[in-house]
Amino acid sequence: MAKTKIAFFCKECGFESNKWLGKCPACNQWDTFAEAPRAAKKVSKGVGVSSSFTNNEPLELSKVSMTENERLKTGMREFDRVLGGGIVKGSLVLVGGDPGIGKSTLLLQICKLLTDQEVKVLYISGEESLHQIKMRAERIGKFKGELLLYSETNLDIIEEAIHKVKPAVLIIDSIQTMFKEDVSAAPGSVSQVRESTAVFLKFAKTFGISTFIVGHVTKEGMVAGPRVLEHMVDTVLYFEGDSGAAYRMLRGVKNRFGSTNEIGVFEMRQNGLAEVKNPSEYMLQGKPKGQSGSVVCCSMEGTRPILIETQALICRTNFNMPRRTSAGTDYNRVNLLMAVMEKRLGISMAECDAYVNVAGGMKVTEPALDLAIIAAVLSSYRNLVIDDGMIIFGEVGLTGEVRAVSMAEQRVLEAEKMGYETCIMPAVNCKSMKTSHMKLIGITNIKEIINYIK
């Protein structure tokens, strides 16, 4: 008998190795390797997307027919927004998120909206029984149309069911539970995830089936399995949110049919997820008035402007080494900005602890938050209040200069819509602004912002 070849794979990210390793070189986690049979080598026939979508022979660019992407509106505007206007026929979408964040609930709500439009939907679950899915469906609401449910993990059986049903939309929950019998590796390994995704990619492109696959995530929040998984799909969505907060955020990090970094905001309720149509108003709920260390900034998430509250607390330290903490923004960026303040403003915070927080649990990484962080830190340090009707945004360089940011006009319009009267922004953006009812203040250096914190 032929000897079975053994491989080791990381349980966190799916990385394969010929020998056992204490630390995974891909995800840097310790003691995560498990032993499993290596997948047998076989001749690949390709993904098999040759159909009406492609041609079996090379074709000149000028002869390629151009047709508009057929989009299916779900009726959930926040979801359609992230996808770029709706579900594209024949697209393959990967949805990742932490356990219990609401991935299955969101997709089941999408199924309800689609079946109400008499769209044939097949929901395949490898983790839950049909009874469990039925319980969640009753909590969401009454289904007017018929949703087809199937509980199976064997891809050979699933292929037969898809050929028989011929759905317009296919839901796979989750890709880590699927396996092919001719691949001698454990479910969730690199080989199984890659082969399983290739099967669904073939169905999506050959028969025009819009497919959603759910992916598990690692401790770092990345989709578990090989990195090639995200390259194979058309769209990658991450469902994010703090377990202690009611809101959830659907973020598109890759989209071949629309803009990336679009977000949709939802609120978790007893009967499922509800759309938050005005995220700015939602994020500013509970903002204190007349308090130092609090300032409103406008952040761009894709093409959507969102007003968020940036808070800072500066207090005298009791230790030899002052403490620095940041929540919702990059820790190293906060340290850099505080160093700029000490050098350019002559403020010594070596004896002070500094805590910076983006209220609402939202994570912001764009540089337009720099000026708001400096204003909030300065306000708390001097115990001076920033006007409640003022917003601040701008990028700050190491010499203290305030640099231009993108989409400044959209930020100002969003602040104006929310009732704000004054905006401190980069002078470069201020010169190019059109007529606005707000009072626009353009600054070129962080030294100028001291004049507006009283």
Q: Cα(332)–Cα(235) distance, rounded to whole angstroms?
A: 30
- Is the bond preceding residue 280 a cis peptide, omega within 30 degrees? no
**Known binding positions:** 97-104
Number of other residues whose CB lies within 10 A of the CB of residue 154: 13
Are 420 and 315 spatial neighbours (Cβ–Cβ below 8 Å)?
A: no
Range with the poorest average pLDDT among 10-24, 81-95, 347-361: 10-24
322 Ramachandran zone, left/alpha/beta (phi>0; psi -120 to 50): beta
Last residue of a domain, one of 277, 312, 336: 277
Q: 216 vs 369, which has greater pLDDT? A: 369
Q: Do 226 and 244 reside in the same domain of the chain?
A: yes
Per-residue pLDDT tens for 305-322? Answer: 999 999 999 999 988 889
User: Would residue 1 count as lying in a domain?
Assistant: no
Number of domains making up the chain: 3
Q: 50 vs 268, which has greater pLDDT? A: 268
Q: Do 158 and 271 reside in the same domain of the chain?
A: yes
Model confidence at 50, in pLDDT bands (50, 70, 90)?
A: very low
Strands of the sheet with 390-392, listed across from one edge? 324-327, 352-358, 304-316, 294-301, 390-392, 422-426, 439-443
Q: Do 346 and 326 reside in the same domain of the chain?
A: yes
Residues whose CB falls within 8 Å of the CB of residue 77, separated by 6 or more in sequence, listed in order: 275, 277
Nearest to 310 by CA among 259, 371, 256, 253: 371
Per-residue pLDDT tens for 103-119? Answer: 999 999 999 999 999 99
Per-residue pLDDT tens for 71-89? Answer: 899 999 999 999 999 999 9
User: Would residue 64 count as lying in a domain?
Assistant: no
User: Would residue 46 count as lying in a domain?
Assistant: no
Q: Do 256 and 377 reside in the same domain of the chain?
A: no
Model confidence at 161, in pLDDT bands (50, 70, 90)?
A: very high
End-to-end C-alpha distance for the chain, whole angstroms: 83
How much is the CA Rg of the chain, to the nearest whole Å? 26
Last residue of a domain, one of 249, 277, 305: 277
Q: Do 241 and 123 reside in the same domain of the chain?
A: yes
Q: Report the CATH number at residue 74.
A: 3.40.50.300
In the numeric block, the tokens 């330290």 are attached to 317
User: Would residue 52 count as lying in a domain?
Assistant: no
Residue 124 φ/ψ, nearest 5 degrees: -110, 120
Q: Do 244 and 322 reside in the same domain of the chain?
A: no
Q: Report the CATH number at residue 365.
A: 3.30.230.10
User: Would residue 202 count as lying in a domain?
Assistant: yes
Q: What is the pTM of this model?
A: 0.79
User: Would residue 56 count as lying in a domain?
Assistant: no
Q: Is residue 224 classed as helix, strand or coil in its secondary structure?
A: coil
Per-residue pLDDT tens for 117-151? Answer: 999 999 999 999 999 999 999 999 889 888 999 99
Q: Cα(396)–Cα(426) distance, rounded to whole angstroms?
A: 9
Last residue of a domain, one of 222, 247, 277: 277
Q: 98 vs 46, which has greater pLDDT? A: 98
Q: Cα(449)–Cα(291) distance, rounded to whole angstroms?
A: 18
Range with the poorest average pLDDT among 172-176, 204-208, 257-261: 257-261
Q: Do 364 and 215 reside in the same domain of the chain?
A: no
Q: Do 434 and 385 reside in the same domain of the chain?
A: yes
For residue 298, the enclosing domain spans: 287-452
User: Would residue 84 count as lying in a domain?
Assistant: yes
Q: Do 414 and 436 reside in the same domain of the chain?
A: yes
Nearest to 305 by CA among 389, 409, 411, 394: 411
pLDDT for 25 equals 87
For residue 197 the two structure tokens come to: 């995704």
pLDDT for 220 equals 67
**Known binding positions for ATP:** 97-104
pLDDT at 54 over 80: no
Q: Do 217 and 324 reside in the same domain of the chain?
A: no
Per-residue pLDDT tens for 336-345? Answer: 999 999 999 9
Q: Do 264 and 364 reside in the same domain of the chain?
A: no
User: Would residue 354 count as lying in a domain?
Assistant: yes
Q: Do 86 and 164 reside in the same domain of the chain?
A: yes
Q: Is residue 46 classed as helix, strand or coil in its secondary structure?
A: coil
